[in-house]
Structure 1
Amino acid sequence: MNLLPSSRRRFLQAGGIGALNLAIPGLVVGKDKLDASGKAVASKKRCIFLLLCGGPSQIDTWDLKPDAPSEIRGPYKPIRTKVPGMHLSELHPMLAKVTDHFCLIRSMTHPGPISNHFDAMHNLLSGQLIERVKQGEPDGLPYLGSVVAKHLPSEDNLVSNAWIIKCVGQPVFCAPNIGSGGYLGSAHAPVFIGSADNHPAMPNFKPPEIYDMGDPARLWERRKLLAEMESKFLADSPLGQDWNDLREKAYDSMTRAEGREAFDLTKEPVAVRERYGMHPLGQNLLLARRMVEAGVRFITVNGWVGAAPDEKGGGPPSSSWDMHGGNMGMGNAFGTGSYGMNFCLPRLDQALSALLTDLKQRGLLDDTLVVAVGEFGRTPIILTKGPPGRQHWPKCFSAIVAGCGIHGGAVYGESDKTASAPISDPVTVQDLHATVLHAMGVPLNDLGMNTGLSRPPFSTGKPVLGLFS
């Protein structure tokens, strides 16, 4: 007996587990891997990808140029860190104490024509220039989290690929396939968590509905109903055991407490929550740590820091780091508004340093890759018309990478005297992708991604092996 797709859907819905319809984003229940003895094992590799939407200024954060003219160097002074010779902005005193946990890349660059957030975000997340989209493949390109979820589906959680607070404002910031699994299918698309009106720093934060079992008694009755239907219609089918296994995995994933409890941040000590910061970025990164502990494989965290106090409508969850200054009506890029570094950088400093410290103390950093990067950098020259700021600059920017064998306490690559271009060891976004996949043990050149179609490799880059210990 062969089941048609519609029949399969009815069976799942009858059992109360319609979420296992693989057309639903991010819901991929992993298959056990076996070691040489036949014992089931699971890869522990996870990734927290902190996306600083809008593009932070490299020259005001992680690649200061104190000897440059004032119109280039900006107002911030460099401070010493735990690593000799590595200097950060004075607004990063906490990160300065944990530099031994991460590697700082100062030679990130976009190859090819990049002109705006849309193009840069697409290239950063897909490893392909936007020209591929313009040539008729708008729905074909998966993003990094989908590729990881395809090869390393979670063994412990209903979700393999998550995105904490989806960016808004399409098409200015949001690349075309942010909510899509591309040619890998919607099963590998991210599950979006939270919003500007529903985030973990709020007292009544609500988790995604997929973790809601509803009435446990009713779920159990539907489970029995599905088992009876299977015994009647699938007893003689070779698919019967497969469906039984799939059903059991579904119930296990839905009823396992840690999947739902990851969203209950009240279980965290107050001191831990305050260490991350009681603001959207801090609590989102704390949630990401709890989610990797619960088995989620890849988590993109929007680097939105929230709106500045008493500033209505400022800092929507897509563009905290789009610091143009007065010519875009965003105020002083070096001020305390929602688009001001004096507001945003201390929050980033607090949250990211807390995450790295927490992962290290919990023994999770060896198996959890952390990446912090924007879609591009900012111009060396500060705008002088109106409140100061900087324009887009794809030729040179910085990134922080840590965990999964990354060598901490190091600087990789170097920019020129104005942070305008790399002068040694350039790292393209494609190289960054390849490095992430390499660190997590994902094949780099799986042409069709098991789709049966002939496709180019996801990333044309090469792993930056010099980042690893």
Structure 2
Amino acid sequence: YRGPYKTIPTKVPGLHLNEMHVKLAKITNEICLIRSVTHPGGISNHFDAMHNLLSGQFEKRVQQGVPDDSPYIGSVVAKHLPSKRNLVSNVWLIKCVGRPVFCAPNISTGGYLGSPYAPVFVGSSDNHPAMPDFKAPLIYETTDPSRLDDRRGLLGQIDPDRLNDPGVKDWQRLREMAFDGMTRKEGREAFELNREPTGIRELYGMNPLGQNLLLARRMVEAGVRFVTVNGWTGQAPHDKKGPPSSSWDMHGGNMGMGNAFGNGSYGMGFCLPRLDQGLFGLFTDLKSRGLMDDTLVVVMGEFGRTPKVLTQQPPGRQHWPQCFSAILAGCGIRGGAVYGKSDKVGAAPESNPVHPQDIHATVLHAMGIPLDPATENSGVARPLTSGKPLYDLFG
């Protein structure tokens, strides 16, 4: 069952982590570790597991573009807590829909809340903030102010009788955010990582994951309400296998991904140190800036991996929705806490099982969003989540 790694003690007595997490082990007093997340029904399909986690619902995934699809959590936050600075409220770093990347297609929609609440995708495997020539989205680029005014005037000539239509109102809000993003200095400067001291950039790690986490911090400071960071750690120079936005689907040799414990793009030896440094940098930086009390950080995937290492060579692990872990920190979450317990091999929860939908509800609760039903564009009220907040995590 056990892989080649040992465990190391952490700042919290009795709590041990993988030996690759040497930096995270120093700050476990700042985080809460959940050890008993489990998918009801044993969902082991990437897309359906993502859908249930991000929508907070117990339902099958529907096709992209269907207007009555459940919105994902970033869209719910954008609806209920729009940016006070009129910038976009829901951002995803990096783009992870469409070929050749591997994410649930529904991520690109706002579900029944409408397209204005869909995420804005920033960056790609070919254009990310660890690259010296990273280019920010066009929505934030400057243009001739007089041309912007002319466009705004033309777009303002909408039939007054249609101004109260919900779809038109949503479109108007999106239009205003676009104009504001193109003209506000804060919006443009959030993407300029060269404004950061070299020491801060290196604190996060000069790789796609580390620099996206730093960019996320800058976007939160600029007024963006919800930022999702794809866990891609980059590709090892000697190993270009697999989709260029995925790091953790470590099946091993039976899917051509190499040794799950090696130093390739799908190897723990390559990915874990980058995750360790990125999270250490994020938590350390947020705390030094006084942002932890008002910022919630959630670190997790859509499911775990099989407790038993596959016997094929090179080794790997398959999908395992029955038991996996998550980290929550900030926004009133108790640091140094461990919630739930798995059996001795990590195959199933032994106490306090947590559904992904419960984490969804906990995020909404932490952000002060009432769990009352949300009204879709057709005027129908639907529940925001089917989970229950984990109140014991706060204190």
Using structure 1 for the length normalisation, give the TM-score. 0.77
Output the CA distance in 1 between the equivalents of 2:131 and 2:31. Answer: 30
SS of the equivalent of 2:17 reads: strand
Q: Which one of 10, 15, 18 corresponds to residue 86 of structure 1?
A: 15
Q: CA deviation at 1:155?
A: 1.1
Equivalent residue letter for 1:459: T
SS of the equivalent of 2:108 reads: coil
Output the CA distance in 2 between the equivalents of 1:249 and 1:90. Answer: 45
The alignment status of 1:259 with 2:205, answered yes or no, reads no
CA contact (8 A) 2:373 2:381 kept: no
Partner of 1:115: 44
Q: Deviations over 1:6-61 (max 9, x none)?
A: xxxxxxxxxxxxxxxxxxxxxxxxxxxxxxxxxxxxxxxxxxxxxxxxxxxxxxxx
Q: CA deviation at 1:213?
A: 2.8
Equivalent residue letter for 1:266: N
Q: Deviations over 1:129-157 (max 9, x none)?
A: 453638x9685111111111111111114
Q: CA deviation at 1:172?
A: 8.7
Q: CA deviation at 1:101?
A: 1.3
Partner of 1:468: 394
Equivalent residue runs for 1:41-440 within 5 Å:
72-131=1-60, 133=62, 140-168=69-97, 173-219=102-148, 252-311=180-239, 313-440=240-367
CA contact (8 A) 2:112 2:377 kept: no
CA contact (8 A) 2:9 2:17 kept: yes
CA contact (8 A) 1:157 1:259 kept: no
Equivalent residue letter for 1:88: L
SS of the equivalent of 2:338 reads: strand
Output the CA distance in 1 between the equivalents of 2:212 and 2:125. Answer: 12
Output the CA distance in 2 between the equivalents of 1:100 and 1:332. Answer: 33
Structure 1: unaligned runs, 5 residues or longer: 1-71
Q: CA deviation at 1:445?
A: 2.4
Equivalent residue letter for 1:308: A
CA RMSD of aligned residues (A): 2.9
Structure 1 residues 171 and 376, CA gap change in structure 2 (3 angstroms)? farther
Q: CA deviation at 1:345?
A: 0.1
Q: Deviations over 1:206-248 (max 9, x none)?
A: 111111231235435666x669x88xx98xxx99xx9xx9798
Structure 1 or 2, whichever has the larger Rg, is 1
Q: CA deviation at 1:446?
A: 1.6
Structure 2: unaligned runs, 5 residues or longer: none
Equivalent residue letter for 2:353: P
Equivalent residue letter for 2:141: D
Equivalent residue letter for 1:210: I
Output the CA distance in 1 between the equivalents of 2:253 and 2:176. Answer: 57
Q: CA deviation at 1:315?
A: 4.7
Q: Deviations over 1:46-83 (max 9, x none)?
A: xxxxxxxxxxxxxxxxxxxxxxxxxx121111111111
CA contact (8 A) 1:196 1:317 kept: yes
Structure 1 residues 374 and 348, CA gap change in structure 2 (3 angstroms)? same
Equivalent residue letter for 1:289: R
Structure 1 residues 77 and 218, CA gap change in structure 2 (3 angstroms)? same
Q: CA deviation at 1:251?
A: 5.2
Q: Deviations over 1:332-389 (max 9, x none)?
A: 1000000000000000000011001101110111111100001100111101111111
Q: How many equivalent pairs are there? A: 388
The alignment status of 1:458 with 2:384, answered yes or no, reads yes
Q: CA deviation at 1:250?
A: 6.6
Structure 1 residues 301 and 81, CA gap change in structure 2 (3 angstroms)? same
Q: CA deviation at 1:89?
A: 0.6
Output the CA distance in 2 between the equivalents of 1:319 and 1:272. Answer: 25
Output the CA distance in 2 between the equivalents of 1:467 and 1:381. Answer: 30
CA contact (8 A) 1:168 1:316 kept: no
Structure 1 residues 221 and 258, CA gap change in structure 2 (3 angstroms)? same
Structure 1 residues 309 and 252, CA gap change in structure 2 (3 angstroms)? closer
Output the CA distance in 2 between the equivalents of 1:334 and 1:250. Answer: 44
CA contact (8 A) 1:253 1:259 kept: yes
CA contact (8 A) 1:118 1:172 kept: no
